[in-house]
């Protein structure tokens, strides 16, 4: 019987897979956003053949690059596969056992056979629905891990969007600082000439020169920050700096286009819809529900473990010519404990998951109100700064007219231009504040409100082969 059973069992052999550190590094550097695999991925996301490869890489293309190449998604998918394997383990039934014995007797009187042999099979029977509880718990944890893939994809997208905003803000600030430095250099030169002519004080000349030096320092710092931000863009896109530098980046979205694509309604009923959308769409809400279901299943399992399993043991023996069959059973007696400790632990874990869920919901509502207020305040500030800039432009045009008529001198005209540059810098800061608060509001809702594109329906599919 054993000879018939053993060959039918398929055993797996161990295969070593040591990590090849140089190969991993080579694979990262070889990730190519211009390669055929990624272009096929873009086609699967709705890009037309005429659009490939992209001539200009905007936020949408970089988001898709991040979703395709970023290693955080590899980790999330691996965790899901591990959870799926745990589902298989949870559904496994206990193997039956077999036992046998062979005896030789010294008494062989009357021609009785001296041999006694027996064979028994142990059949374990789980009681109380333990197996189903294990399956339900593993399935809930697997669902939480599957949701975590989408949660990770959202985080990858969010980091890409934030770094895009920061990079283009730094680009614009660098350009304005260069203009400011040129104007301050002109002012310093004019005041230096006036100082030599006795028409300006040394204090005025020194102050202008110090402001010029301060602007130069700010410009140098911003240029260094640009390099850092571009490297951050590459990392968030899942690419090496060398591959990323081969891409031609598109200009940032204009203020008008951004305002149109991120126009949030202010009606109370719509605000209630935004809150409901946040509570329903948030991926961490869904994952928390799955973890709570897993805690429920664990409690069911621990309660079922109060009832001991049973082992049935049918057997047959041949005892010196006498044929004997038997059936036995065994179980544990719940005398010293009835699994009270594990049940209490599972109940506490369920209460913990419930408390976490309630805290998560309350936090989301608070964040939504806070970010919404910050966004509308940023819009008001931006509108005010635009009015100030418009007024300054009118003053500068008046100064230009006075200069053309010979009424104002070049120093007055240059100073007016400098004031306009400083207000434009303030406008850039206000504009970035609008974009960052809009991004924070979008992050709280976990729902794309405009550009970049919506998330793929299944971030776990269509990704590169690991």
pTM beyond 0.85, yes or no: no
- Residue 271, classified by CB atoms within 10 Å of its CB into exposed (0-12), middle (13-18) or buried (19+), is middle
Alpha-carbon dihedral sign for residues 441, 443, 449, 451: positive
Let me know if residue 20 belongs to a domain: no
Distances (CA, A) of 123 to 58, 131, 301, 310: 64, 16, 21, 8
Domain that holds residue 356: 27-445
Let me know if residue 98 belongs to a domain: yes
> Domain tally for the chain?
1
What is the distance between the alpha carbons of residues 385 and 188, in angstroms, rounded to a whole number?
Answer: 27
- Using pLDDT thresholds of 50, 70 and 90, give the confidence band for residue 460: low
Let me know if residue 68 belongs to a domain: yes
Counted residue by residue, the chain has a size of 466
CATH number of 75's domain: 1.20.1600.10
pLDDT digits (tens, 9 = 90+) for 313-368: 999 998 877 888 988 889 888 878 889 999 999 999 999 999 999 999 999 988 88
Let me know if residue 466 belongs to a domain: no
Residue 408, pLDDT above cutoff 50:
yes
The two tokens of residue 50 are 């005429």
The two tokens of residue 213 are 């030096």
- Strand extents, DSSP E, 143-267: none
Q: What pLDDT, on the 0 to 100 scale, is given for residue 266?
A: 47
Q: What pLDDT, on the 0 to 100 scale, is given for residue 251?
A: 83
- Using pLDDT thresholds of 50, 70 and 90, give the confidence band for residue 71: very high
Residue 108: phi and psi, rounded to 5, are -120, 25
Helices vs strands, H then E, count in the chain? 13, 4
Residue 129: phi and psi, rounded to 5, are 70, 30
Let me know if residue 141 belongs to a domain: yes
Let me know if residue 452 belongs to a domain: no
- Using pLDDT thresholds of 50, 70 and 90, give the confidence band for residue 403: confident
Let me know if residue 463 belongs to a domain: no
pLDDT digits (tens, 9 = 90+) for 158-210: 999 999 999 999 999 999 999 999 999 999 999 988 888 888 788 888 999 99
Whether 241 and 231 have beta carbons less than 8 Å apart is answered as: yes
What is the distance between the alpha carbons of residues 415 and 207, in angstroms, rounded to a whole number?
Answer: 14
Whether 362 and 368 have beta carbons less than 8 Å apart is answered as: no
């Amino acid at each position: 019987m054993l000879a018939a059973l053993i060959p039918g069992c398929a055993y797996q052999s161990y295969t070593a897979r040591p990590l090849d550190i140089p190969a991993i590094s080579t694979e990262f550097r070889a990730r190519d956003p211009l390669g055929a695999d990624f272009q096929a991925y873009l086609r699967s996301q709705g890009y037309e053949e005429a659009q490939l490869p992209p001539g200009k890489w905007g936020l949408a293309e970089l988001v898709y690059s991040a979703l395709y190449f970023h290693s955080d998604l590899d980790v999330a998918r691996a965790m899901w596969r591990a959870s799926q394997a745990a589902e298989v383990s949870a559904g496994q039934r206990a193997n039956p056992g077999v036992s046998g014995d062979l005896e030789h007797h010294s008494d062989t009187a009357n021609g009785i056979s001296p041999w006694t042999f027996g064979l028994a099979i142990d059949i374990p029977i789980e009681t109380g629905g333990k197996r189903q509880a294990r399956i339900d718990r593993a399935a809930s944890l697997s669902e939480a891990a599957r949701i975590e893939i989408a949660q990770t994809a959202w985080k990858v997208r969010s980091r890409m969007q934030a770094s895009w905003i920061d990079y283009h803000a730094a680009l614009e600030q660098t350009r304005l600082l260069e203009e400011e430095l040129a104007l301050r250099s002109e002012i310093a030169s004019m005041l230096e000439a006036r100082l030599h002519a006795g028409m300006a004080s040394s204090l005025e000349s020194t102050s202008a020169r110090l402001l010029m030096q301060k602007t130069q320092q700010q410009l140098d710092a911003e240029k260094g920050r640009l390099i850092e931000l571009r490297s951050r863009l590459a990392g968030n896109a899942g690419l090496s700096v060398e591959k990323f530098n081969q891409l031609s980046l598109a200009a940032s979205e204009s203020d008008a286009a951004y305002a149109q694509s991120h126009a949030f309604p202010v009606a109370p009923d719509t605000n209630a819809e935004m809150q409901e959308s946040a509570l329903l769409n948030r991926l961490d809400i869904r994952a928390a529900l799955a973890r709570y279901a897993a805690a429920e299943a664990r409690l069911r399992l621990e309660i079922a473990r109060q009832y001991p399993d049973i082992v049935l043991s049918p057997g047959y023996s041949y005892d010196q010519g006498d044929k004997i069959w038997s059936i036995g059973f065994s179980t544990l007696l719940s005398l010293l404990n009835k699994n009270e400790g594990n049940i209490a632990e599972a109940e506490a874990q369920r209460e913990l998951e419930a408390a976490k869920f309630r805290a998560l919901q309350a936090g989301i509502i608070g964040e939504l109100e806070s970010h919404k207020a910050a966004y509308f305040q940023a819009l008001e500030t931006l509108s005010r700064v635009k009015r100030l800039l418009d007024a300054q432009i009118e003053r500068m045009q008046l100064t230009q007219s006075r200069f053309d008529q010979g009424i104002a001198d070049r120093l007055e005209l240059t100073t007016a231009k400098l004031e306009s540059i400083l207000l434009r810098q303030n406008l850039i800061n206000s504009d970035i504040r609008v974009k960052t608060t809009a991004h924070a509001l979008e992050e709280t809702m976990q729902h794309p409100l405009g550009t970049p594109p919506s998330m793929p329906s299944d971030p776990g599919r269509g990704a590169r082969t690991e």
